Amino acid sequence: MMKNKNWEVKKLGEIIKLEYGKPLPDYKRDVKGKYPIYGANGEKGRTNEFFCNKPSIVIGRKGSAGEINLTESKFWPLDVTYFITFDEKQYSLKFIYRLLSTLNLPRFAKGVKPGINRNEIYNIEVKVPNILEQQKIAAKLDKIFDKTKKLEEIYKKNLQNTKDLFNSVLNETFNQGTDRQTDRQTDRQTDRQTDRQTDRQTDRQTDRQTDRQTDR
pLDDT tens-place string over residues 96-148: 999 999 999 999 999 888 999 999 999 999 999 999 999 999 999 988 877 77
Q: Identify the pLDDT of residue 2.
A: 41
Q: Identify the pLDDT of residue 1.
A: 40
Q: Identify the pLDDT of residue 178.
A: 58
The CA distance from 216 to 212, in Å, is 6
Buried b (16+ CB within 10 A) or exposed e, 93-105: bbbbbbbbeeeeb
In this predicted model, what pLDDT tens digit does every residue of 140-183 receive, in sequence order? 998 887 777 677 677 667 767 766 765 676 676 666 655 566 66
Q: Identify the pLDDT of residue 130.
A: 94
The CA distance from 169 to 198, in Å, is 42
The CA distance from 114 to 65, in Å, is 6
Distances (CA, A) of 181 to 9, 155, 175, 187: 75, 38, 10, 10
This prediction has a pTM of 0.69
The stretch 32-51 carries a mean pLDDT of 96
Q: Identify the pLDDT of residue 113.
A: 86
Quickly count: other Cβ atoms within 10 Å of residue 121's Cβ.
Answer: 21
pLDDT interval class at 3 (50, 70, 90): very low
The CA distance from 109 to 107, in Å, is 6
The CA distance from 172 to 170, in Å, is 5
pLDDT interval class at 72 (50, 70, 90): confident
DSSP-derived secondary structure for 62-122? BSSTT-EEE--SSBEE-TTEEEEEE-TTT--HHHHHHHHHTS-GGGG-BTTTTB--HHHHH
State the distance between the two ends of the chain, measured CA to CA, in whole angstroms: 133
Range with lowest mean pLDDT among 47-56, 139-148, 187-196, 207-216: 207-216
Full strand arrangement of the beta sheet holding 7-11: 2-3, 7-11, 125-128
Q: Identify the pLDDT of residue 159.
A: 62
